[in-house]
Structure 1
Amino acid sequence: MTSPKLDILYEDPDLLVVNKPAGLLVHEAASAPGEKTLVDLVLAHDPKIKDVGEAGRDGIVHRLDRDVSGVMAIAKTRAVAEHLKDAFSTRDVGKEYVALVYGKLPKDHDVISFKIARSKRTGKMVARPHSQEGKDAVTEYDVLDRFKNHTLVRLKILTGRTHQIRTHMLAIDHPVVGDTLYAKKRMKNIRPLEMDRLFLHSQRLEIPMLDGSRKAFTAPLPDDLAELLKTLPKR
């Protein structure tokens, strides 16, 4: 990918909100040493953010996977880092995503509440529809549009488990388009779309501010995802 630039949605003395592009790691990973990350871009923009919050976090209070795009809030002060850390841990935030999934969802609205646990065999997260093991996870979805072989949905995650949307949608047999980590086997008999990323975008994030008010930040659907939708035949 071309060298990424920091797409700033909002900034004040305490808070930075950005629109993370797909393909960009938040922190450096052992599997990709030396690769430019979101933290690199943030520190180039404002070096004072270094060491804000927990050790090695550099203002980061929540994450998006590499292949997920969209809204991320970054603390610029220790007070905001602690405040937002508490808000995310107590679920006092609103998180909305847009995803394109395979197949035709039978309902226009539903709530998925399968527990999620890490597989001892593969190390990946697994949603367990009939198990009492794992951590509680709740995902609510609404259908935004229907296509011949796909459904566009808005998802609200009421918990923040690792890969929650991806595992929940896989568990109901409607994997997220482009999910080669979780849905590769399930997609063998499905004609894949021409795209090299996950069709999952963090569209809206609502957070509590230090003064007691709440602010919501939105990021438009990236051009590559919007263009893909134009190519899909309708039902």
Structure 2
Amino acid sequence: VFSGHEHWGDALTLLSINLKTGRTHQIRVHMSFLGWPIFADDKYLNKKFSGEDRKYLSHHFLHAEMIQFSSFEGEEVLVKAPLPEDCEKFLGSLSQV
């Protein structure tokens, strides 16, 4: 399940994605299959494009904003993480385009 937050022309869209399973590379595989690969993803994006993307961000733009799970005691645990500074700077540079 995903929803769009911001768009930069036809080139980039910032999405919020809610995972239903914890399968390895689930977001990366599915988004690439749909034609919306993760920015700077050198595994599932054409190498030419990922190389170009890496001029602006040194890693793929995939961030776990929050994770929720049940503890061994059965209590719900919610952990949130802010967007890394380099990703914030990258988004800020897009706003100026």
TM-score by length of 1: 0.37
Identity of aligned residues (%): 29
Q: Is the 8 A contact 2:40 2:49 kept in 1?
A: no
1:232 Cα shift?
0.7
CA distance in 1, matches of 2:47, 2:13: 20
Residue 195 of structure 1 corresponds to which residue in structure 2? 57
1:178 matched to 2:40? The reply is yes
After superposition, residues 99-178 of structure 1 pair within 5 angstroms as: 140-148=1-9, 149-178=11-40
Higher deviation after alignment, 217-226 or 200-209: 200-209
CA distance in 1, matches of 2:96, 2:19: 27
Count of paired positions: 95
Which protein is richer in helix relative to its size?
2
1:234 Cα shift?
7.2
Q: Which runs of 5+ in 1 are unaligned?
A: 1-139
Which protein is richer in strand relative to its size?
1
RMSD (Å), alpha carbons: 2.3
CA distance in 2, matches of 1:225, 1:211: 35
SS at match of 2:18: strand
Equivalent position amino acid for 1:177 in 2: F
Q: Structure 1 runs of 4+ off > 3 angstroms?
A: none
Structure number, greater radius of gyration:
1
Q: Which runs of 5+ in 2 are unaligned?
A: none
1:227 matched to 2:86? The reply is no
* Higher RCO, 1 vs 2 (CA within 8 Å, ≥6 residues apart): 1
TM-score by length of 2: 0.83
